Amino acid sequence: MTQPDWIAAEWGAAHLRIWQIGAEGRVLSTAESGEGYEQTDAPGPALRRLLPDLDASVPVLMSGAGLLPSPAVPCTPPVAAQAREEDGLRLLPGVAQETPADLLRGEEVRVAGFLAMNPRFDGVVCLPGAQSRWVHVSAGEIVSFRSFLTGTLFAGLPRLAAPEAGWDEAALVEAADRAMGRPAGIAGDLAAVLAEMRLKGLPAGAASSQALGLLIGLELAAAKPYWLGQNVALVGEGALVAPYRAALAAQHVPVVQADGARMALEGLKVAWRG
Amino acid sequence: MTQPDWIAAEWGAAHLRIWQIGAEGRVLSTAESGEGYEQTDAPGPALRRLLPDLDASVPVLMSGAGLLPSPAVPCTPPVAAQAREEDGLRLLPGVAQETPADLLRGEEVRVAGFLAMNPRFDGVVCLPGAQSRWVHVSAGEIVSFRSFLTGTLFAGLPRLAAPEAGWDEAALVEAADRAMGRPAGIAGDLAAVLAEMRLKGLPAGAASSQALGLLIGLELAAAKPYWLGQNVALVGEGALVAPYRAALAAQHVPVVQADGARMALEGLKVAWRG
């Protein structure tokens, strides 16, 4: 295979994804493993397990490395010059926020990628995940952000893994609406979903959709200042994107959508060019 | 060893506990395994793994078997005559509630044990666990109940397992108070706890206490009709009891406390006597 000019890498909560980049920014190949920063503290060895034949002379630019500069908001787009060299990698720092304590680990690069593709965007970027992030962007910079543990809370629920057959959107939206109206009831409402499975034969797909809807509704109630009357861009991939889109649509929030992995690559290219 | 007259058994969400009972209700021995009803669907094999030398002629009375009668509230104290024979066991049915859909699996026997020890008790029994249950008791019967998934939500949080060194009670109570005042904020507040660990060196014990405090506060906000102005009995064992007691004390709720395993045994004895 052609030797790549450089390697773009995103270290996420539950994945390590790389793109081998050739002449004129062409993607020569991609690869992905499950060794995210929740699974290991060492991105170098994880990268070499994913790319055992990697030539040490090829530079690697990695986002999500999570070793952070001093708290600094607003945030200008990431550039490779900010990267710290460690273990043969160039690690792009994340963003730390002082109050409320919060951080971005790679999402800031996805936001930069989205802004590169949508240079006139002003509004809020919502990035679903183990932690969902709501990032307020103005004039090409990150103004503030807020994280929610929604995806993690959902993943920890027994017997309610994401349905293979897809979401029951009506059940999800109804549950989200219920949780927005009565957020304190969430732990009781989740117990009731499990009880309805057992006592009334509620199908697993509808139960799962209700449970996720409740948790997204709780998040939307608290994140309201981020989405009410705002342009919202939904940036992500995987099973959580459609539920967020449906719940936001039910609140009459117009949403533009972009693929998360694609935005990560575009953001890493922006940082590489400097 | 003396042959037991009968065996009392409790099948909980995450445990199977037995007591070998001899003459005059004396406990000859106890044993426990981690094979609860969340781990296996078959209590018979789980019991025989715990008691491989069990003589098949010794009757076993087991609560929590979870195969329920038709929805029925109020609930009279359980008696062995209600038990269903299966796989050599006498399985005491739980209690199902129609609206909101909810169920008790063994907690009704703990409540019966508590009432046997405290015959004049009128009020609410709170049973912390993977699902906490609030059970309204009047005139010796269960009037209504409500379950909350608080313990399960806490157990699913990464890096926040219960602290070995004990709870930071002040942090726990402050967080519970915060969540009661602003329940919608819970998923964001939990993300902030993780961020404070990373950015500000918040110790794991304080972080864990804050996270559990937030989740208990959320529950207390929704369970308020159950504890406000009520006699509350806290029946449980293990790591969750002290946090519930502290959070209730901060709301000026007088609480009496009883050991959960002891109440299970007393309740099974009540049911056995019929």
- Using the Cβ of B185 and the Cβ atoms of chain A, whether some distance falls under 8 Å is answered with yes
Q: What is the mean pLDDT of residues B137-142?
A: 90
Amino acid at residue number B257: Q
How far is the C-alpha of B235 from the C-alpha of B258, rounded, in Å? 5
Amino acid at residue number B68: L
Cβ atoms within 10 A of the Cβ of A201, count? Answer: 7
Q: Please enumerate in sequence order all residues whose Cβ is within 8 A of that of B39, keeping only pairs 6 or more positions apart, or say none.
A: B14
Please compute, for residue A50, the number of CA atoms within 13 A of its CA located in the half-sphere on the CB side.
25
**Closest-CA distance of chain B to residue A115, Å:** 25
A-B contacts (CB, under 8 Å): 131
pLDDT band at A1 (very low <50, low <70, confident <90, very high): low
pLDDT tens-digit map of B194-204: 999 988 999 99
At A161, list the tokens. 């893994």
- Using the Cβ of A196 and the Cβ atoms of chain B, whether some distance falls under 8 Å is answered with yes
The verdict on a CB contact (< 8 Å) between A186 and B186 is yes
pLDDT band at B69 (very low <50, low <70, confident <90, very high): low
How far is the C-alpha of B209 from the C-alpha of B196, rounded, in Å? 13
The DSSP letter of residue A131 is S
Closest CA to B15 of B35, B1, B30, B29: B35
Spell B89-115 as b/e; 16+ CB within 10 A means b.
bbbbbbbbbeebbbbbbbbbbbbbbbb
Share of chain A above pLDDT 70, in %: 96
Q: Count Cβ atoms within 10 A of the Cβ of residue A255 and give its class: 0-12 exposed, 13-18 middle, 19 or more buried.
A: middle
Per-residue pLDDT at B93: 87
At B51, list the tokens. 């008691």
| B47 and B16 Cβ atoms separated by less than 8 Å | yes
What dihedral do alpha carbons A213, A214, A215, A218 form, nearest 10°? 120
Q: What is the mean pLDDT of residues B103-120?
A: 94
The answer to whether residue A59 scores a pLDDT higher than 90 is: yes
Per-residue pLDDT at A35: 96
At A238, list the tokens. 């995987």
At B93, list the tokens. 């049915």
Q: What is the mean pLDDT of residues A86-101?
A: 89
The verdict on a CB contact (< 8 Å) between B148 and A191 is yes
How far is the C-alpha of B155 from the C-alpha of B161, rounded, in Å? 7
**Closest-CA distance of chain B to residue A60, Å:** 25
- Using the Cβ of A101 and the Cβ atoms of chain B, whether some distance falls under 8 Å is answered with yes
The DSSP letter of residue B75 is B
Pair type for strands A16-21 and A27-33: antiparallel
The verdict on a CB contact (< 8 Å) between A187 and B219 is yes
Q: What is the mean pLDDT of residues B160-166?
A: 82
Per-residue pLDDT at A224: 97
The verdict on a CB contact (< 8 Å) between B147 and A196 is no
Share of chain A above pLDDT 90, in %: 78
Share of chain B above pLDDT 90, in %: 78
At B140, list the tokens. 């010796």
Beta bridge partners of B30: B19
- Using the Cβ of B146 and the Cβ atoms of chain A, whether some distance falls under 8 Å is answered with yes
Alpha-carbon torsion (A187, A190, A194, A200), positive or negative: positive
Alpha-carbon torsion (B108, B112, B115, B117), positive or negative: negative
Expressed in percent and rounded to 5, the helix, strand and coil fractions of chain B are 40, 25, 35
Expressed in percent and rounded to 5, the helix, strand and coil fractions of chain A are 40, 25, 35
How far is the C-alpha of B107 from the C-alpha of B117, rounded, in Å? 15
Of A101, A183, A200, the CB nearest to B184: A183
| B82 and B93 Cβ atoms separated by less than 8 Å | yes
How far is the C-alpha of A60 from the C-alpha of A124, rounded, in Å? 30
Amino acid at residue number B271: A
Rounded mean pLDDT of chain A? Answer: 92
3-state SS of B11-40 is: ECCCCEEEEEECHHHCEEEEEEECCCCCCC
Per-residue pLDDT at A170: 97
The DSSP letter of residue A130 is S
Q: What is the mean pLDDT of residues A144-150?
A: 96
| B188 and B236 Cβ atoms separated by less than 8 Å | no
Per-residue pLDDT at B209: 97
The answer to whether residue A26 scores a pLDDT higher than 80 is: yes
Chain B residues closer than 8 Å to A69 by CB: none
What dihedral do alpha carbons B57, B58, B64, B66 form, nearest 10°? 10
How far is the C-alpha of A174 from the C-alpha of A168, rounded, in Å? 10
- Between B18 and A161, where is the model more confident? B18
CA distances from B89 to A24, B11, B44, B86 (A): 72, 12, 7, 5
- Using the Cβ of A177 and the Cβ atoms of chain B, whether some distance falls under 8 Å is answered with no
The answer to whether residue A74 scores a pLDDT higher than 80 is: no
pLDDT tens-digit map of A165-174: 789 999 999 9
Beta bridge partners of A148: A132
The answer to whether residue B72 scores a pLDDT higher than 60 is: no
The verdict on a CB contact (< 8 Å) between B96 and A149 is no
The distance from CA A225 to its chain's CA centroid, rounded to whole angstroms, is 19
Amino acid at residue number B226: Y
Rounded mean pLDDT of chain B? Answer: 92
Chain A residues closer than 8 Å to B103 by CB: 195, 198-199
